[in-house]
Amino acid sequence: MDVRLAALSALVVVLVIIAGALGVMYSSLASKYASLKSSYNSVSSSYSSLKGQYESLNSSYASLEGEYETLSSAYSTLYSEYKNQQVDVVLAAAMSHWNDIAYASVPITVNPGVSVSVLPVSVGNYLVLSRACYTLRATISGGTPPYNITWYVDGTPQAYNTTVFRTCFFNTRANLISVSVSDRYGRSASAGLYVRASLNLADIIIAGVIILIVFLVFKAVTSWYPRYLPY
C-alpha cells in the first residue's frame, strides 16, 4: 500500500511539473503570437498604405502619359506652323506620393529656313575685247549646317561647296549666275543675278591698235619684195 501511495505521489509531482512547464510554454507562445499578430497588423497596414500610394502613382503616371502625348502633339503642331519661332514647352510631372506638381520650362529652338544672297566682290574688264571676270560671294543665313552649295552659269553647274565663285565672259549678252543652297534637312534657297561683259572704249582702242599694227606689218612685208620679177 505504501509503495502504491509513493508511486501515485511521484506521478502527481511529475504531472504538476509538466503542467507548470506547459503553462510557461503557453505563456511564451501566447506572447509570441500576440507579437506576430501585432507585426502582421502593422505589415497589413503598411501594405494598405503602399497599395494606396501605388494606385496614386499609377494614376499620376497615366495622367503624365496623357499630358506627354498632348505635349508631343502640340510640339509637332508648333514645329510645323512656327518654324521661325522659339517656343517654351511646359512639362508637368508628379512627384512621388506627395502629389505635388513640378513645372520645368524647356526652351526649344527651331532654326528658321535657309536663305542666301549673292553680291559681286569684284568686276574686271581686262582690256581684252569684251572680256569681263566676275567674283561673287554667297551669304548664307538660317538653316542647319552643313550646307550643300552649287553655282550655276546660265543653268549649268560650275562649282560646288564654296561661298566664293569666279567666272569670265567673252560675250556682251546677259549671263545668269545663280547659287543654290540646301541645309542638313533638305530646306533650300537660291539667288542669282545677271552680268555681262560690256564693250568699253579701251576695247575699241586696243582693237584699232591691233588692226593698225597688222596693217603696218603687212605693208612693210609687201613693200620689201621686188616690184618686178627678172626675165
Q: Within this chain, do residues 119 and 101 fall inside the same structural domain, yes or no? A: no
Count of domains observed in the chain: 2
Quick check: 55 pLDDT over 60?
A: yes
Comparing 159 with 18, the larger pLDDT belongs to: 159
- Measured in Å, how far apart are the chain's first and last C-alpha atoms? 199
Structural domain contains residue 151: yes
Which range of residues forms the domain containing residue 77? 60-109
Cell 564654296, residue located:
162
> Which DSSP category does 184 fall into?
T
Structural domain contains residue 98: yes
Comparing 46 with 169, the larger pLDDT belongs to: 46
The answer to whether residues 94 and 61 touch, using CB atoms and an 8 Å cutoff, is yes
Q: Within this chain, do residues 78 and 166 fall inside the same structural domain, yes or no? A: no
pLDDT for residue 178: 95
Q: Within this chain, do residues 120 and 194 fall inside the same structural domain, yes or no? A: yes
Average pLDDT estimate for 153-180: 89
Q: Within this chain, do residues 87 and 147 fall inside the same structural domain, yes or no? A: no
Structural domain contains residue 70: yes
Structural domain contains residue 44: no
Phi/psi of residue 62, nearest 5 degrees: -60, -40
| Least confident span in 11-15, 27-31, 81-85 | 81-85
pLDDT for residue 5: 74
Structural domain contains residue 223: no
Comparing 132 with 88, the larger pLDDT belongs to: 132
Average pLDDT estimate for 60-76: 82
pTM for this model (two decimals):
0.44
**pLDDT band for position 96 (50/70/90)?**
very low
pLDDT for residue 95: 43
**pLDDT band for position 13 (50/70/90)?**
confident
